[in-house]
Homo-oligomer: A and B are copies of this chain.
Amino acid sequence: MEPLAREVWGLISQLWLAERPRINDELAALGLHPMQALALRHLEQDRPEPMRALADTLRCDASNITGIADRLEAAGYVERRPSPEDRRVKTLVLTDSGARARAKLAEIWTTPPPPIAALAEDDLETVRDILQRALAASPRA
């Protein structure tokens, strides 16, 4: 195992875990629990998503999606819509209100913590370029 990569990821973990309380607070202020927020994050407008696919993406049992979808539907953020191709499948679609909530989530997840916000412009550019390259090179991230 590459010790340098481990060191870098350790620093990233440290930064993220320190931000976790702030992020959860802001999600709660929006009336969303973490898993509801992650579900919303993986939905896109005009792209109905089978509940089963969402369970795979979030890596949780299908039975949990029922409750998460119930609450997102009660909040008016998603709608259940039967699939025209397979009558067993129900898809979730973002409402306009859901799309607005999703945009606020993106704000929350991109708000940098003090150590990142304080970095100089050229350091930020350097890190951005490397991380973008890393994400472009590796599939499924």
Contacts and interface: CB of A to CB of B under 8 A. Distances in A.
Interface of A: 1-2, 4-18, 20-21, 24-25, 38, 41, 58-59, 106, 109-119, 121, 123-128, 130-135, 137-138, 140-141
Count of chain copies: 2
B21 A112 contact: no
Contacts of A10: 106, 109-110
* Top 8 closest pairs, chain A to chain B, by CB: A21-B59, A9-B112, A115-B138, A10-B110, A115-B134, A4-B124, A11-B131, A5-B112
A15 B59 contact: no
Given A115-B134, A115-B138, A128-B7, A15 B12 contact: yes
A118 to B, nearest CB: 6
A11 B118 contact: no
13 contacts: A2-B112, A4-B128, A8-B116, A8-B127, A8-B131, A9-B110, A9-B116, A11-B131, A12-B12, A12-B15, A14-B135, A119-B134, A123-B134
B12 A16 contact: yes
A6 B110 CA distance: 5
